[in-house]
Amino acid sequence: MEEKKLRQYDFITAVGLILFSVWELSQALKMPMKESYGGVQSEWYVSPALLPMIIGGGLMLLGAILLVNAIRTGGAASFIEAVKNSGKIKVTEPTRRVVTVVFAFVSFIYLMIPNVDFFLSISLFLFYISTSFYPERDDFRKKMTLQFIIGMGVLLILITTGLDDVLKGILSYNVDILALLFLIYLNIYSRIQARKMDIARKTIRQVTLISLIVPLILCPLFRYFLLVPLPVEGGIIKLMNLVYYAVR
Amino acid sequence: MGFLEPLQIFFMSIVGLVANPVNILILFGSVIMGIIFGATPGLTATLGVALLTTLTYGMDVSTAMVALMGIYVGGVYGGSYTAVLVNIPGTAASAATALDGYPLARKGQAGRALGLTTTASAIGTVIGMVFVVMLSPVISALALEFTSFEFFLLALFGIVISGTLTSQDLVYKGWIAGLIGLFLATIGRDSLQFFPRYTFGMSELEGGLDLVPVLIGAFGIPQIMQTIRDNFKISETSEFKKILPEWKTIGKNIPTILRSSLIGVGIGAVPGIGEDIAGWVSYGTAKKASKHPEEFGKGAVEAVIATETANNSCIGGAMIPLLNLGIPGSPPAAMLLGAFMLHGIQPGPMLNIDRPTFVLEITAILLLASIAMWVSGIFLSKQVVKVLKVPTSLFMPIIAVLCVIGSYALGMRVFNLYLMLPIGILAYFLSEMKYPIAPLIIGVILGDMCDQNLRRALMVSQGSFMPVFQRPVSLVLILVIAILIAGQIPAFQRFQVRVKEGVVSLFKKKEKSADNA
């Protein structure tokens, strides 16, 4: 990162740090200092607030030093300038790539893992993130991301409205079935788009293989070898259980 | 214990480990995995140890330690592959190796360069191991004399020194990272009064943050994001027929090896610094001591040996404070601490009392790991290099999945994942803004030690800080901390310069008067 931008970020960070330390200290002041807690007469030096106060004080002091340095080195001025020209800011390609990765992670961790069969969660995550970056085509990545956003949106609506519980009465593993259908749809969609964009067929084939083989190795490894119950054991994991206990 | 008994335990440990073919398989497997992790840009020894920790959950302690030490040793050495072959250090530890390793490869001596890095790394690891054996009883015995004030100051020293030495921009950015780590460590019920701190009424936070998800988040997620963001690709690697051990060259460079090993062990023993700094310091020292410093940067064999010996001897150095004080000497050692705890081992001064043979077992494993690393390096390098051809856009998502499943599996809590990602994103932005991550991790690890010991010490002294100035170890620590902090104040820096100039001019005056006489 260039010096000017670094100092600009230092300015923002310093303000954030000072605000954070104020909050941290205010929370620490709510902790027992001299009064009795849990039958124990507290003194300032055994108070649970002691270390938080030191941390808060330290962060405030260092935040202030950082702020002074940022102002002195032109960080504040360049920040004000950046705010004025905020309309002209262009989102760079690396930033878009980072956002894509974060979005994939957020969907995977907060949406899929708690609600969808673990095998399918891994498979969907791997398929989306690999097809986004492996072909090295930004237009292809954008198309895949749009489809993934729609898919995740549907999943979010199902879960937040409680529709999935209603559907469960009609059909078991409804979310898993939807996720599986979505995975198949993504696969077909990516192949069609790849053909249109002259992306080698092999690319999508490799991604498909990886997105199936990796969970096929990891899920049994953790479930049967390390005896770790998986977050959501839906349709696919239940099927694995049937096979495993029948063979064993 | 006498002199012979530890030796007996050491060799018995080796025999016990070698007698089991499963251990040998695991040892070679983990070393090779470590080499792959080290050689792949974006993956590190720390991440390797983190991910393997999950898989060792079901193993017995000895086998788990074989796997973890194997991947650690392999991971630190593996970085030299890409450093030599494509001028891209696989890990920060091998950054200095690239300066002369790559020019050697360009001269058509890639095999020779890799032979040197392999042998130097193995020797460095063994020398580091010797120091672990020699220094552990001394440090352990000394640590048993420590009171709560010493432990508090030791933890504080660890955070301050790692912040000071790892910061690439402003020094206090390292301290800020350390304080953020300390804050993260205060989350949960405190261990003395069980008062809930910063839990927001969430029962999941009452037990505090699990160490492994925090470590995986802080080290794994930023690397995945950076590698994918930069669309990293390895170009054509330099060709080599076979790797030669180069014993003759190694023999000629014994002084360099010894000096670099001492540097590596010394830097490794300082909390949270790590192998990369050891490599750079060793490189600089080798250049200063060399008869031909002009050759450095053009393919100097001496430089390659110096950096690789230092970064691998750093492993032994990092193990010394980890085993005897419970303070990790490097980021991978921090990960190892989490693994130790997972297997019911509490590193610290009591380790030699609770498990008298454990340190010797670890050193035996280190020796075996260095042999396995050398054998793998000499005979399997061509196969390992093939792995580098796998595109990172395919490789990194798999690592991401491993990070997620690893964070979940250790506590079997989905909540750990909810924590891992924000910590990972925070670590990514912090590292982008030139805040070092190592102090943050050291802060998380040593936070509880800081909190408990400070309050316990003040409880004993009735709120007085006087004992700090009455005990030699704590007095030294507080002075070092004060100097480290004051060293960043411009007025103090000017005062230091004036003192230096005064001392120099005094010596010059004395020399002049002696000459006149």
Give A134's contacts in chain B (Cβ within 8 Å): 391, 393-394
Residues of chain A positioned with their CB less than 8 A from the CB of B195? 31-32, 37-38, 48
Asked whether the beta carbons of residue A38 and residue B421 sit closer than 8 angstroms, the reply is no
Which of B69, B75, B73 is closest to B42 using CA atoms?
B75
**For chain B, what is the radius of gyration of the CA atoms?**
23
Nearest to A106 by CA among B412, B404, B180: B404
Facing A48 at nearest CB: one of B197, B229, B400: B197
Which among A32, A134, A218 has the least Cβ separation from residue B195? A32
- List the pLDDT tens digit at each of the 517 positions of chain B: 566 777 788 888 888 888 889 999 999 999 999 998 888 777 788 888 988 888 887 788 889 999 999 999 999 888 888 888 877 777 777 878 888 888 888 888 888 888 888 999 999 999 988 888 888 888 888 887 888 899 899 889 888 888 888 888 888 899 999 999 999 999 999 888 888 999 998 998 998 998 888 888 998 899 889 888 887 766 666 666 677 777 888 888 899 999 999 998 988 888 767 787 888 888 888 888 888 888 888 888 888 999 999 989 999 888 988 888 888 888 888 888 888 888 888 898 888 888 888 888 899 999 999 999 999 988 877 777 777 778 888 888 998 998 899 889 877 889 999 999 999 999 999 999 999 988 898 899 889 889 999 999 998 898 888 988 888 888 998 998 998 888 888 788 788 788 888 888 877 777 777 766 6
Q: Do A59 and B180 touch (CB under 8 A)?
A: yes
CA distances from residue B509 to B496, B506, B515, B516, B517 in whole angstroms, order as listed: 20, 5, 10, 11, 12
HEC profile of chain A? CCHHHHHHHHHHHHHHHHHHHHHHHHHHCCCCCCCEECCEECCHHHCCCHHHHHHHHHHHHHHHHHHHHHHHCCHHHHHHHHHHCHHHCCCCHHHHHHHHHHHHHHHHHHHHCCCCCHHHHHHHHHHHHHHHHCCCCHHHHHHHHHHHHHHHHHHHHHHHHCHHHHHHHHCCCHHHHHHHHHHHHHHHHHHHHHHHCCCCHHHHHHHHHHHHHHHHHHHHHHHHHCCCCCCCCCHHHHHHHHHHHHHC
Check CB contact under 8 Å for B397 and A129.
yes
Structural contact between residues A94 and B227, judged by C-beta atoms closer than 8 angstroms: no
Given B57, B193, B400, which is nearest A40 (Cβ)?
A: B193
Candidates B169, B393, B400; nearest CB to A6 = B169
Chain B hits for A45, Cβ within 8 Å: 455, 458-459, 462-463
Contact A114, A108 (CB under 8 A): no
What pLDDT tens digit does each residue of chain A (248 aa) get?
A: 688 889 999 999 999 999 999 999 999 999 888 766 666 667 888 889 999 999 999 999 999 999 999 999 988 888 888 888 877 777 888 899 999 999 999 999 999 999 999 999 999 999 999 999 998 888 999 999 999 999 999 999 998 888 887 877 777 888 899 999 999 999 999 999 999 998 888 999 999 999 999 999 999 988 998 788 999 998 899 999 999 999 87
Length of chain B: 517
